[in-house]
Amino acid sequence: MEILLLLGAPFAGGIVLAVWGHRRFAPELNSGMSLLTFLAACVLTARIIADGPILAWNRAFFVDPFNVFLVALTAFVAFTTSLFSRPYMRIEAHTGRLSPNRLRLYHSMFQLFTFTMLLALLTNNVGILWVAMEAATLTTVLLVSLYRTPASLEAAWKYFILCSVGIAQALFGTILLYFAAEKVLGSGGTALLWTDLNQVKGQLEPTVMSLAFVFLLVGYGTKVGLAPLHNWLPDAHAEGPTPISAVLSGLLLNVALYAVVRAKVLVEGALGNNFAGNLMMGFGLLSVVIAAFLLSRQRDIKRLFAYSSIEHMGLMTFAFGMGGALATFAGLLHMTVHSLTKSAIFFAVGHAAQKSGTQVMADIRGLIESNPTIGWGLMLGSLAILGMPPFGVFASEFMLLTAAMHQEPWATPFLLAALGVAFAAIFGKVQPMVFGKASVERLPHPPALIPVFVHLAIVLLLGLYMPPYLAEWYRQAAALIG
């Protein structure tokens, strides 16, 4: 029942906002719909904690500890982003950069995007997972080019072409997966259900599965933004409106990585050896190193944090690739704290960019002086994302590095160098923006920065004191992934 409400609310919201998206109350309506979704997610999570994984709608939807925490996270971040986008969009409309019917497009696509995310997470059918991912791309591509500037058009075009081609590879991977499954489970609907695949993964044909994993990794890897396939990500995140960048960075990348991890579970079972894990580790490490070194070349603040997302997705992929209870636990925790921190940073960045009228970091100075909440939000957010201890990101990096030092010691020098260069680059650029003389003016509408500090508080809490049931949750999920 909760699944119906959970999927129904955003879908209905999308339809309703398509009609009334341009009205004055549209942002409030948008937040209301997201709130509804978040409540449904909470109810579903409570139910999963109470009585374990459930299969609903004759096994079309499957919810286990692994994807339920992602569902809760997605719903929560979508809700807080909608809260943030209320004043943000009003200011954009006020400054005339967005016409009312573009707002309508934005609001309806926002809700549909949430719908596709939740569908991708909840579905048990690998095919539907692919369809949901493709739909996610479709809903966000128009939003990236919302401002109609040449740069945003270019970003949207590249985003669309690269992701579509990537998703096409994933489709072929799914076909091969279906092909291998059909041998064991017989044709008909069940061959694509992840739960059935999970049971018989031992008997699947190894050569086909390894080919399938290659296509799936390249396909969904493009959506995750792994190193050689990452080129669309910085442009898409930098040129789109900030709520979209926050949602893309915070949620879309997680869901894509969720799909890759689901595939890895099957392939690992089929192959027995660590072929999938090694591939993921290789891609993860490559992404961390390349993103770290590209950070120091950035002049646009949103591109800077887009590359930081690539780096963190690389860390997560490396963690999941390494396997073992400790590393997987670190990967899951990193997924949560990264999406919370990165969305908080994008909220602060959004308002900072609006205040100074530009996204070029050299022109933003003295944020703490002119608006302490934005200044401290950005400062604490970037310190959190850089893995400074009191925050949760450090907890996951701590577990990751110590596990890596024990299982894959060869990788630690690269990680050390990359983390150091990333720290120098990001902090070197954020510090002058936050400190110094103020060069920015007041905002027409008061910025809604409660979400920023709520997110950072949660991340701080996760760093210092992990509630036992949350820890139990992660441990079950880690056991599932293995």
Partner 1 sequence: MPSLPLWSQLINLLAALLLLLAFAMLTQRRVLSLIRLFAAQGFVLALSTLVVAYTTNQPDLYMSVAVTFGLKVLALPWFLHWLIRKLNVQWDIETVINIPVQMLVGIVLVIFAFNLAAPISEIAGTITKSTLGIAIASILLSFLMMIARRKAVSQVIGFLAMENGLFFAATSATYGMPLVVELGILFDVLVGTLVFGVFFFQIRETFESLDIHHLEKLKDR
Partner 2 sequence: MDFSSFRPVEAAVTLSVIWIGLGGAGLAFARAPRVVTDWVFPAGAAVALALALTGLWAMNAPVSTAVLPAGLPDLPFHVRVDPLSGFFLLLLGGVSFGISLFSAGYFRGSGDSSVGLMSLQYHVFLASMGFVLIADDAYLFMVVWESMALSSYFLVTAEHHSEQNRKAGFIYLLVAHLGAISILLSFGVLHGGHGDYTFDALRRAELSSFWATIAFVLAFFGFGAKAGMLPLHVWLPEAHPAAPSPVSALMSGVMLKTAIYGMVRVIYDLIGGIRWEWGLTVLLFGAATSLFGVLFALMQHDLKRLLAYHSVENIGIILIGIGLSMVFLGSGHPVAAVLGLIAGLYHTLNHAVFKGLLFLGAGAILKSTGLRNLNEMGGLIRYLPHTALYFLIGALAISALPPLNGFVSEWLTFQASLQAPLLESSVVRSLVPIVAAVLALSGALTGMCFVKVYGVAFLGQHRHELAETPREASRWERAGMLWLAAACFALGLLPVFMIGQLNNVSQALIKAGLPDEAMASGWLWLVPTSSAQASYSPIVFLLVIAAVFALTYLVVRQVYHGRLRRSDPWDCGFPAQTSRMEDTADGFGQPIRQIFAPVYLIHREIPRADDPRPVFKQEIEDRHWNAIYSPIARFAEFLSGHIGKVQQGRISVYLLYSFLTLIALLVFAQ
Is 358 a binding residue for partner 1 by CB under 8 A? The answer is no
Is 474 a binding residue for partner 2 by CB under 8 A? The answer is yes
Is 203 a binding residue for partner 1 by CB under 8 A? The answer is no
Is 439 a binding residue for partner 2 by CB under 8 A? The answer is no
Is 211 a binding residue for partner 2 by CB under 8 A? The answer is yes
Q: How far is the CB of 458 from partner 2 (least distance, A)?
A: 15
Nearest CA-CA partner of 106 in 5, 29, 161: 29
Residue 215 or 347 having the CB closest to partner 1: 215
How many residues sit close enough to partner 2 to count as binding (CB under 8 A)? 72
Is 271 a binding residue for partner 1 by CB under 8 A? The answer is no
Is 215 a binding residue for partner 2 by CB under 8 A? The answer is yes
DSSP codes, 277-313: HHHHHHHHHHHHHHHHHHHTT--BHHHHHHHHHHHHH
Separation CA 62–CA 56 (nearest Å): 6
- Per the structure block, which two tokens stand in for 197? 């695949």
Q: Name the binder of 33 from partner 1, partner 2, none, CB < 5-8 A by kind.
A: none
Q: Cα–Cα distances in Å, from 112 out to 138, 179, 302, 310? A: 10, 31, 24, 25
Residue 289 or 348 having the CB closest to partner 2: 289
Q: Name the binder of 407 from partner 1, partner 2, none, CB < 5-8 A by kind.
A: partner 2
The H or E element that residue 249 is part of is none
Separation CA 171–CA 181 (nearest Å): 15
Among 398, 443, 448, 480, interactor with partner 2 by CB under 8 A: 398
Among 192, 337, 361, 481, interactor with partner 1 by CB under 8 A: 192
DSSP codes, 171-237: HHHHHHHHHHHHHHH-SSGGGGBHHHHHHHGGGS-HHHHHHHHHHHHHHHHHHHT-GGG-THHHHHH
Q: Indicate the DSSP class of residue 361.
A: G
Is 450 a binding residue for partner 2 by CB under 8 A? The answer is no
Is 363 a binding residue for partner 2 by CB under 8 A? The answer is no
Residue 64 or 134 having the CB closest to partner 1: 134
Separation CA 212–CA 334 (nearest Å): 27
Is 480 a binding residue for partner 1 by CB under 8 A? The answer is no
Is 142 a binding residue for partner 1 by CB under 8 A? The answer is yes
Nearest CA-CA partner of 87 in 240, 243, 244: 243
Separation CA 190–CA 186 (nearest Å): 8
Phi, psi of 217 (to 5 degrees): -65, -45
Is 385 a binding residue for partner 2 by CB under 8 A? The answer is no
Among 33, 71, 89, 155, interactor with partner 1 by CB under 8 A: 155
Q: How far is the CB of 233 from partner 1 (least distance, A)?
A: 11
Q: Indicate the DSSP class of residue 251.
A: I
Could you tell me if residue 58 is left (phi over 0), alpha (psi between -120 and 50 degrees) or otherwise beta? left
Q: How far is the CB of 118 from partner 1 (least distance, A)?
A: 16
Q: How far is the CB of 228 from partner 1 (least distance, A)?
A: 14
Q: Name the binder of 80 from partner 1, partner 2, none, CB < 5-8 A by kind.
A: none
Is 475 a binding residue for partner 2 by CB under 8 A? The answer is yes
Is 479 a binding residue for partner 1 by CB under 8 A? The answer is no
373-390: b (≥16 Cβ within 10 Å) or e: bbbbbbbbbbbbbbbeee
Nearest CA-CA partner of 86 in 150, 26, 136, 163: 26
Is 115 a binding residue for partner 1 by CB under 8 A? The answer is no
Near partner 1 in 437-466, by CB under 8 A: none
Residues of this chain that interact with partner 1 (CB under 8 A) are: 125, 127-128, 130-131, 134-135, 138, 141-142, 145, 148, 150-151, 153-158, 160-161, 164-165, 168, 171-172, 174-176, 178-179, 182-183, 187-189, 191-192, 205, 207-208, 211, 234-235, 238-239, 294, 297-298, 303
